[in-house]
Amino acid sequence: MITQLKNYAVGQWVAGADKGQDLYNAITGDVIAQTSSKGLDFARMCDYARTVGGPKLRKMTFQERGLMLKALALHLLSKKEEFYKISWATGATRIDSWVDIEGGIGNLFAYASLRRQFPNETFCYEGDVAKLSKNNTFIGHHICVPKEGVAIHINAFNFPVWGMLEKVAVNWLAGVPAIVKPATVTSYLTEAVVKEIIASNILPEGALQLICGSANGLLDHVINQDVVTFTGSASTGKMLKSHPRLLEESVHFNMEADSLNCCVLGTDVTPDKPEFEIFIKEVTREITTKAGQKCTAVRRIIVPENMVEDVQIALGKRLAQTVIGDPNVEGVRMGSLAGISQLNEVKEKVELLSKTQKIIIGDFEKFEVKGADKKKGAFMPPIIFLNENPFKNTDCHSVEAFGPVSTLMPYKTIDEAIELSKMGKGSLVSSIVTADDRIARMYAIGAACMHGRILVLNSECAKESTGHGSPMPMLVHGGPGRAGGGEEMGGKRGVFHYLQRTAIQGSPTTITAITGQYQQGAKQIEKEIHPFRQYFEDLEVGETLITAKHTVTDADVINFANVSGDHFYAHTDVTSLEGTIFTGRVAHGYYILSKAAGLFVNAKKGPVLLNYGIDECRFTKPVYMGSTIGVRFTCKEKIDQEKKNAEDIAKGIVKWLVDVYDETGETVAIATILTMVKKRNQD
């Protein structure tokens, strides 16, 4: 039965107004679905996202958005087997689908956890405060607020789930809604995932819309608050990037394009070393996973000239063991391309590459397919070229066959390997397999300007390495030049693509009021009750305890030295101070901090559950014997925490500014400590 895919627009599931495009099962060649976007009002969809989804997301704090992502990830994980069944039709094996489906869900989990790096606010602040005046009455800071537009994601066909989830996780955490346009050829899998997302009712209405058919005309309606991302071919990306509307409105455009990535074998590696087997396994995996349909796949295999024959033999043996066929059949390790149109395109590129280099592994006619008809499905074998003169025959550095196709090429020195890697004119990833850290350093620094990511593999990390072709949520995914010049994911870096960074200036008190984070010099709030006697809800940012004072004695310093074992000369040996900055013996910095804790801590059992850590500790002025210290202990920031389960204690994290000063009023030590504080309301 042929399914009519639907689009999710303006809160409704709607089919296109005509039959639209036929979609095929990549294994059998049968028509399995049809899709169309005819009749969709793209202008209304954009407006709906901005006026319905956007305001709801922006009212949520980073903590609430993060918990939303976590709930969605758990829900989709419970439905994963349904997605695996559909993914088979894309030609993907179970392992291929795992990368796409569970890898995508993993991005939701990763960005849900990232909420802990943001304040419990609808916006965030960035960087350090800038002191703009002598007496600190005028300061500057940066706040980052969600853009009041929509994120439009135009995705590639090879990862219909991961390609969507790795992007929407970021814009949702930032507080921005999304319109997703998957590649039509595999949009049936994206539609299935979006149906589950919408049915879960976890997202606020308007946070997600879906276009399965053509999106021609969508970019005519973007405005300056929108963000457009594109993943796909460099040629299509350039066309979209130059869209007049994007230029007129100065719309942020992020492009991640297919690139001619490379894997380099270090000059130190020989067939008898473990790194040689690691190299062969890694290259084989990158050629066969998703049938080579990965933007990060290895397209160029760069090896020392004396190792070309060894690599060719080892790679040939390993690829010969790769069983091609129906992913549902036991033993099959490589499925098909996503469709016949992709197969024909790859064949054209292989023919073009054949003009300047020779095929040494693989034959389009002579290969076996298990459990399927290779004439009906989009099957092809791995194809390996040998380019004996890659500096002269340069098609391999500019022509990409987006399938299980790669070129083996020699180099003489690491400098040559670096030069060859750069001839791809910018890639998403390069890897080097070497046991010599000097070679690793030389290659990484030399090649970094033309690669978005560099993986160094050796026997020490290979077992736990995520591999050449696996972008990670907390690291930037993108690259210069041909790779598009954009950045995706990257942890907090990715979130900032959907935020407007604005410099704010004013008095410390005003900046404190705006940011919800105490700034030094702001007005302080003093209460009769000790801060440690108050529950999380009762504490106010700016609330300050002025402690009693303590005069540092010789006995204090000697006792601390004996207890801690720290007998550093500046604390204990007055005869060693000549030529130093000290005019006498000084107290240990950690003693000052410890004594400060003794001054501000309230010892009785109360709402404070534990000390959670110390940040940004600095010792700014020597404390000599006889100096008197006191502490200004100020509530700097409050971060809510969710309960892990029904039995968990309701609590939050409180950041405190510990400002230790001497008898002159000058700060001698400053730190931020964190405490876990119980909530009054335990519901």
CB distance 23 to 34 below 8 Å: yes
Does the pTM exceed 0.75?
yes
Q: Does domain 261-471 have CATH number 3.30.360.10?
A: no
Label residue 521 left, alpha or beta by phi (over 0 means left) and psi (-120 to 50 means alpha).
Answer: left
Provide the pLDDT confidence category of residue 1 given band limits of 50, 70 and 90.
low
Q: Does domain 3-258+493-499 have CATH number 3.40.50.800?
A: no
Question: Which one of 239-248, 332-341, 387-396 scores highest in mean pLDDT?
Answer: 387-396
124 is catalytic: no
Q: Which residue in 102, 121, 256, 488 is the catalytic one?
A: 256
Question: Hey, where are the domains in the chain?
Answer: 3-258+493-499, 261-471, 524-678
pLDDT of residue 35: 92
CATH architecture of 524-678: Roll (3.10)
SS3 17: coil
The amino acid sitting at 580 is T
461 is catalytic: no
Query: Can you tell me the mean pLDDT for 446-462?
Result: 93
Can you read off the two tokens belonging to residue 435?
């046991």
Residue 411: pLDDT above 90? Answer: yes
CB distance 420 to 300 below 8 Å: yes
Residue spans of alpha helices (H) in 456-586:
492-495, 508-515, 554-564, 569-572
Residue 540: pLDDT above 70? Answer: yes
Query: 169-204 pLDDT, tens per residue?
Result: 999 999 999 999 999 989 999 999 999 999 999 999
pLDDT of residue 244: 92
Q: Which residue in 212, 295, 396, 635 is the catalytic one?
A: 295
Residue 9's nearest CA partner among 50, 42, 57 is 42
> What is the residue-averaged pLDDT of the chain?
92
pLDDT of residue 18: 86
Residue % of the chain over a pLDDT of 90? 74
Residue 484's nearest CA partner among 181, 654, 255 is 255
CB distance 136 to 129 below 8 Å: no
Residue 643: pLDDT above 90? Answer: no
Provide the pLDDT confidence category of residue 6 given band limits of 50, 70 and 90.
very high
Residue 683: pLDDT above 80? Answer: no
Please give the Cα distance from 585 to 662 (Å, whole number).
16
